[in-house]
Structure 1
């Protein structure tokens, strides 16, 4: 398989080539080009499977190259775009022309490798499907897709689920599935995956997680049994494995959660179903989904169906979420606290106030407040990460008094944050002051958003709406202005200037500096020195 790297900045091309382990992902040959014209020449001479291209280049852009390739009838060539900007019109154009992925500079080497690995897998699968179709042997050559389709139809209830009918279906598809063993359903619920989906892309997130589960449970990167569901109820992954020792399954599940968190930073909860016959798996899926939804006390853990049933027994809801949402909308802290006092007092009187009840109250209060803040664009995790929030939250389940103290603090922080959001002009000034103070550090949209307790998406939209500029561009412009000042001192190395203004990657610094000033850093220094020479000043 051959890949072509296209960028007008030579150091960037070199950095990409050295960052990826090409052999490990199935790339045999790596070509390079420094303009769209050069890229077209390479493509005319050699068949190319993947093109990694910068979007913004002199004369012709990466989008022009993509359009040209599609006009040549090469619809199977996969494109991965790189750009310095978060401009959605670029992304829309790339999607319209069927680009595979879109990454911003400076690129993350691990993310680049994962993106390319997914693209290679897509190419290989398309080739296999094409070969199978041409030979009229879909059912025998594409066994992986057939097995995946079987499990999906089984869980969705499309099959007639008697044992005999399932056996007949398996035989018709020629699948290596044993119907005489008992199976365990492994069901995972992923919470708060939106940030990961934004950072690496939803398709890549799904691909990475499915590959991890396939490798850990089936010893293969190719997904043939892992089923994904994504909708209003959240993100779910489920699969079935032959029954074996519970300790072994727990370890595999824990490894899967850990690997997914390390690769994508998401957090999941897994329930291991009781062993059952294959025809009972659809009903088992429904029961376990209900358990995972109810078992808030087991969030982030691996637990069995039996343990989930025990945890779910008793009161399932204490507070009226609708009432909390109405009071939050009008910032009525007093009414919320009075309502909570009434709920707690009634349970104290009936002697039904337990640690579990307090735990449910805390979860429900958090659910209402967090949902309220997320709708306002607030990054909840950073807002309540301070020492007092953590300490009061940990103590909230000890007593009714502790619960009221925690809730009062929770509401105070919530409404104070919203008061700040209601003054956007003041917030923009604080953001700009933060950039001026911290531009030397490794800061970006995510770090700035966390500082002001906002989601990165909301911060970007608010800043652009108020200033007409992208936050990322503002940060780069300020860094370049500071770099121009430092370049006036010819005793300071240019590489040191790059580091001093917050660029850890010298080639990326050169690219950004040249795009903003029209000069490479070294050339800018020479021009500045020339302007300041005595003979030049006298002529002026």
Structure 2
């Protein structure tokens, strides 16, 4: 992190700048505040900030005076950003005589300040790289800077000299992801990986370009010349390396391998392609090796699974059918692989299933938090990083939820369906509907609809319509009631809709049916 000193005589301006800096997630932290140039001069000497953001007009000592004194009196030479109002524009131009990095007009625009800070970050990174010595290379800074930008030739020459590596040679950026099913940061694998890599590459003396990333990942810049002796094809070489690291580090790993580049300066391109490979972690058949050359031409799938498969899963869970829901889970995870589901699409599918199951549990007045695997699955991206691990925890949750639902329902789903049919037979003349009946019997409407069709071979709505039309036919034959009266008596709220449904089922209008019966 780089230190920033804020200098402005208006406290609200200072607090606004601090807020922007805290929110823009750049490599800066506030080390102090000053309300005039004289205070700032003292703080610069004490705190040694890399960046000073100063107003051009301040009491005691203004911004230009501060810059002039820093340049002539202090050993520390921070970068300056000057703030000025429109009226001070010509005055602010004088600041460029002192090599001010940027000036920004008030009121400060967040995007403009962020762009200026991005530019300064690159400058500071390169300045830090220039401090590398052969005895003590700043490896973390080197890698992170190379992955952010392409340094100039002078910086690259110093890097290559410090690392004893040629500039014009093939390099590949590899993300090694630990898949130990532990939360990020709980285990430090850096020492074990470093030792293993040194042995494998036979580079016990030379510095490895290895750094720590987020989410249990480590980044490695691999020079091709270190792999030549054992190269029997790129995938085979990385597979051998993966096996060695897993064995010596005692954990499961996956490699996400970027495009090979022909110059150390271009490692930013390899790094970007390795990052894209992370989106293919649920693709099929890669056995822990994910290569940009093989994957990035394949289209990712960003949508959810189809409604039929989702409904089938929920039905089998409600039926507590272990074979049924296991078969559906297999089908879902096969789709993840074959269609190359993006991580976001996988997350949406898992979340959708969880929400549906939680709603069922709550309808039964249960508590989903009593499920052991509920929390595990809720936070699965933090621990379960490949398809096998995710499928395993998903299956455990599904099985536990199915048992819990069956227990809450008392295992009477199959018996209840007969009661439900009798209820429909006795109340079809009323304004009944599937969702309301499901609620009355503590069942999910989708599950009830599928269970009804499975048991009686007809959809709920079709069965209900048949009952109503048969009763309407009886009334048409035996009474002189009007059509709207008959429609209301058999459960239709609208006479026209009744006539339409009658004709659809009987191929004639209610009036034609009555006339036919009278004629007979």
Please classify the TM superposition score into its range, dividing by the shorter chain length: 0.3 to 0.5
Structure with higher Rg: it is: 2
| TM-score in terms of structure 1 length | 0.34
| TM-score in terms of structure 2 length | 0.35
